[in-house]
Amino acid sequence: MSGKLFIVPTPVGNLGDMTPRAIDTLRNSDLILCEDTRTSAVLLRHFDINVPTASHHKFNEHTSVQPVVNRLEAGETISLVSDAGTPGISDPGFMLVRECRRHGIEVETLPGATALIPALVNSGLPCDRFTFEGFLPQKKGRNTRLEELSKEPRTFVIYESPLRLVKTLEQLAAYCGAERDASVSREISKLHDTTVTGTLAELAEHFKVNIPKGEIVIVVSGYKELQERKVHRNKYRDNDAADTSHEKN
């Protein structure tokens, strides 16, 4: 009988965000796959989890998937964690889950921490419908993707490095419009958890002066909302003009 693969989210910041179920799942595993065993070791020691670990990251997942599948088929229980958040969301995980599904191995993903949802809700932008972009292409295809996003009707979410934040904000302003509303969240669930809101142009200027540190999540309002805001703004302008004209008469 085949074993089972658990996808286990881990805190993006505060270790208090780790769920009791996630702790129990890791403790009861035969093996824990880690994006970086050194990073995960801190978490495992904190919760007194003494289970063998192995590396599973973007540089070795093509070769490590099959041996893991073999162990699962032999009946082992294996958990996958990333450095922070939910594996598979801009982190290794997809390939392993896909292979498990192809081999009829049960996979269960625990609910838990991820950076994109807190950043999205904190932004104050519409979040009933949104699209998650992850990291934009660094070179090839970047301009094409930015052009596509400029017409995206829904709020969209991007992960970014603090070193590239200003450049990305400037590019977003160039493609989407400097007046497009957005937010930048950093260090979510950590001591210096901060969200700054404004237009893309305002945010670019802000972070030129206030050098960002830590993990960054950018949330940008959709094209549809921008158009609706312009309609409402013109409507109010027309109403004010009508009121002024009436007062003069």
Checking DSSP bridges between strand 53-55 and strand 31-34, what pairing results, if any?
A: parallel
Q: Is the pLDDT of residue 242 over 90?
A: no
Angle between helix axes 61-73 and 94-102 (nearest 10 degrees) is: 40
**Average pLDDT, integer, range 105-131:** 95
Tell me the two tokens of residue 109: 């993903």
Enter the pTM of the model: 0.85
CB atoms near residue 27 (< 10 Å): 15
pLDDT of residue 224: 77
> H/E element holding 183?
strand 181-186
pLDDT in tens, 18-57: 999 999 999 999 999 999 999 999 999 999 999 999 999 9
Each residue's pLDDT tens digit, 4-18:
999 999 999 899 999
Q: How confident is the model at residue 1 (pLDDT cuts 50, 70, 90)?
A: confident
Q: Is 88 left (phi over 0), alpha (psi -120 to 50) or beta?
A: left
